[in-house]
Amino acid sequence: MTSSFIVDLWFSQIWTDPRLSYHHLSCKTNLSLDEQIVEQLWTPNACFADSKSSYVHQSPESNILLIIYQNGTVWLNHRVRVHGRCNMRLENFPLDTQKCKLVLESCGYSMSEVRLNWLPWSPVTIANDNFQLPDFRFVNLTFDRHIRHYSSGAWDQLAITFTFKRLYGFYVLQAYFLAYLAVAISWISFFIDPRSLPSRIILGVNALMALTFQMGNVVRGLPRLAVVGFLDKHHDAKLRKRVKTERKVRAVMIGQAADSLLLALSSTDPTRSATERAGATLQSQFMRQLDEVPKARKFRYSSSFLAHKIDAACARVFPLLFGVFNAAYWIYYLSRE
C-alpha cells in the first residue's frame, strides 16, 4: 500500500489569443495543427503542482490535440498519465474512506497575468463509471477553485478530489475472523480438566501465537505510521483477553498444586506420601515462578471444587465480556463515518 495513485486523463486547456485571430480571412472555421506547433505558441503553462510525475502518452505518436478557431481561441488537449500524491488517514482502517487530490496551477504566471477557471459545462467527467479497483471502490469526484499565496505572489489553483471507499472483505476474513477464531479457541481452556496443565498451556500459547502472527501478516503491507488505528485497538483487546485467560488458568492451577500438596501430606502411606509430596513440590515451585495473580492469596485451596468453580464462572463471564466489547467496538467504529 502506497500513499499515491495513478490516473490517465485528458487534460484540456482553452484560452483566447487575439494575435491568432483570422476571421478576416476566407479560411476554415478552425485549424487542426500538429503538436510541433505547440512549441511556437504562447500557453498558460498549466501543470499538476502536487504530482510526483506525469507524462504525455506516446502511442504511437504524442497524444496532443491542437485546434485554433477564427476568433483566436486555442484548444490544447493532452492525454496524460499522472502519478499523484494521496495523504491517507488510516485511523479507521480497514473501513476507511480516502480522498486524493490533483491540483492544477500555472507554473510561470501569477494571478496578475493568468487567471484559471473551470469551464461552465461539465469541466470534469469520467469516461467509464464502472471501472474497478483491486482494493477500493470509487465513490465520486468533486472540483473547486481557490487562491494560493506564495512569497512571489498569488496563484490560481484548480483542485480535483477523488473519493475512494476501501473494500474491506479481505481484511474482515484475514484479521477479524481469524482473531475471533483464536479467542474462541482460548475459551476452550476453561472446559479442560484443571489438572491437565500441559494441555492448557499448549492451547493458550498456540492461541497467543496465532493472534501475533496473524496481525503481523495483515500490517506488513500497510505504510508505517505513528497512529493507532481501530484494527490495532481491536488486536490489542484480543491480546488482553488472551492474557487474562492465562491468569485465570494460573489461578486454577495454583489451587490444584496446593491440593496435591495437602493430599500428599495427609496420606498415611510413606511411599505414596513421599512421591506425591515431591511431585506437588515441583508443581508448586513451577507455579511460583509465574507472575503473581492479583488477589490470588484470597483463594482457599482446601479442595478442587474451587478450581472447577473458577472455571465455570470464567466460562460464562469470558464470552459475555467479549460480546460487550465487540458490540461497543463496532457501534463506535461504524458511527465515526
Domain of residue 31, CATH code: 2.70.170.10
Q: Would the pLDDT of 330 be above 50? A: yes
Domain boundary among 143, 166, 189: 166
The closest alpha carbon to 44, from 104, 107, 102, 103, belongs to 107
Q: Report the pLDDT value the prediction gives residue 9, as an integer from 0 to 100.
A: 93
- Bigger pLDDT: 311 vs 12: 12
* DSSP codes, 230-297: HHHHHHHHHHHHHHHHHHHHHHHHHHHHHHHHHHHHH-S-HHHHHHHHHHHHHHHHHHHHSPPPTTGG
Range 281-284 contact pairs with CB under 8 angstroms and sequence separation of 24 or more: 283/197, 283/256, 283/257, 284/257, 284/258
- Helix ranges (H only) for 17-64 are none
Longest dimension (CA), the chain: 127
Q: What is the pLDDT of residue 302?
A: 46
The pLDDT value given to residue 27: 80
**Most confident by average pLDDT, 99-103, 259-263, 310-314:** 99-103
- Could you tell me if 152 and 223 lie in one domain? no
Q: Cβ distance 310 to 248 under 8 Å?
A: yes
Domains in the chain, number: 2
This prediction has a pTM of 0.69
pLDDT tens per residue, range 204-233: 777 777 777 766 666 666 655 555 455 555
Q: For residue 103, give the 3-state DSSP assignment.
A: strand
Q: What is the pLDDT of residues 246-289, one digit of tens each?
A: 555 555 455 554 445 444 445 455 554 455 555 555 455 545 54
* Domain stops at, among 136, 166, 196: 166
CA distance 260 to 73: 98
Q: Which three cell numbers stand for residue 154?
A: 498569488
Cα 155 from Cα 111, distance rounded (Å): 5
pLDDT, tens digit, for every residue of 159-195? Answer: 999 999 999 888 888 778 888 888 888 788 878 777 7
pLDDT of 148 strictly over 70:
yes
Q: What is the pLDDT of residue 291?
A: 46
Q: Above 60 in pLDDT, residue 324?
A: yes
**Structure-block grid coordinates of residue 308:** 472447577
Domain range for 289 is 169-335
Cell of 133: 479497483
Query: Which CATH number fits the domain that encloses residue 183?
Result: 1.20.58.390
Q: What percent of the chain has pLDDT over 70?
A: 72
